[in-house]
A = this chain, B = another copy of it.
């Protein structure tokens, strides 16, 4: 088991538990010799008690700290006589964390860590605090840890969107039992990323495929497909100055065209390419942050399409819910099997989520209120997916 863990650490979790600096090069010197730092630093280093030490060589920097996903403020780092800055955390809960160094005000990736998080706007390296008890796949191991269970497959599709006018992609998880040449059909969860993420976020960062592999192996979730499209109906929402929901026209176009692309392009493609059930009761839609808003706007306004709706830490919609969800009333309960509204209590979006839940209650819409510890983080969303997926298609 130790050997497997070491190999796993090397292959699957580069940068969390071992030195990253290239050894002197014989065979491939071009870039690497010149990249070789004065002497190697190891960062991040995960200790056996789950404390983590971050290090950065920066002899001339004046101020260095590390911002860890979910922490309320950056952790100050101290410089030693060799010009290496370091800081050690308290013990961390087992999970994956994004983090960035702030070097004299500039946010940057950890240069000692090859694991970076895909994101259009923000820089974050990835820290893995793994279970020390091994990867046996037992129920005590976090659902996002790769275990020795049957694995599904992640498919990357590419197409030209006529609705948005660009080349884009979407990812599809198929469960271990999926056989494209067989007869069995499966229900589908459409799972949406947040603002600044790309279409790979739910697998690369959220580890949705690993979570589903484990839930299915433990009998906790029904085998299902997960479709993860690109969540931008108006990609210009990513451009500096025009985006982040400050421009109501771009925001509206982003939501409207996303929904149109999903309903008229992605779903028809998926239903032609895969063996899936095509009825409303076999379709779920869920997402985080911007994707939570998209799940609500698409799901609650297209009741004939989705019977299961999940919204994790939703943001980007206005509080004018009568306008956002025109015509939604108590009759919707006949169509909806689950409306699951989750938010962390330390999330800056907790209040609008509480307001939304109160509005749904005022309309008589059955829904599940979930408040969890945590802020606007992937640690919350991995747990949201783990809980939500287990409820689906029952």
Contact = CB atoms under 8 A, between A and B. Distances in A.
Contact of A106 (B111, B155, B232): B111
Contacts of A160: 148
Interface string A153-178: 11111111000111110000000000
A108 interface: yes
Given A26-B245, A109-B111, A122-B31, A151 B159 contact: yes
B123 A35 contact: yes
A98 B230 CA distance: 25
Contact of A34 (B102, B116, B151): B102
Contact of A166 (B8, B105, B109, B166): B8
A44 to B, nearest CB: 15
Contacts of A349: 27
A63 to B, nearest CB: 9
Interface string A42-62: 000000000000000111111
Interface stretch (A9-17, A277-285, A384-392): A9-17
Contacts of A35: 67, 100, 102, 107, 122-123
B109 A27 contact: no
Interface in A300-327: 315-316
Interface stretch (A221-229, A234-242, A353-361): A234-242
A364 interface: no
Given A10-B235, A106-B37, A158-B151, A28 B100 contact: no
Given A10-B236, A30-B348, A35-B100, A23 B168 contact: no
Nearest to A30: B376
Contacts of A67: 31, 34-35
Most chain B CB neighbours (cut-off 10 Å) among A8, A61, A103, A108: A108
Contacts of A98: 31
A394 interface: no
Nearest to A14: B120
A38 interface: yes
Interface string A99-137: 010111111110100101011111110000000000100
Given A35-B67, A100-B35, A58 B106 contact: yes
A114 B120 contact: yes
A248 interface: no
Nearest to A22: B121
A154 B155 contact: yes
Interface string A370-386: 00000111000000000
Contacts of A28: 194-196, 244, 289, 315, 376
Given A114-B122, A155-B155, 20 more contacts: A10-B239, A11-B230, A19-B240, A22-B122, A22-B240, A28-B194, A28-B289, A31-B98, A35-B123, A38-B105, A38-B106, A58-B104, A60-B62, A107-B111, A111-B123, A114-B123, A116-B116, A146-B158, A153-B157, A158-B213
Q: Which 8 A-B pairs have the closest CB atoms?
A: A35-B107, A180-B180, A151-B158, A7-B166, A108-B111, A154-B156, A109-B109, A27-B315
24 contacts: A4-B165, A4-B167, A7-B166, A23-B246, A24-B244, A26-B246, A27-B315, A28-B315, A28-B376, A30-B348, A31-B100, A31-B122, A32-B122, A34-B67, A35-B102, A35-B122, A35-B123, A38-B106, A108-B109, A109-B116, A155-B155, A155-B156, A156-B156, A180-B181
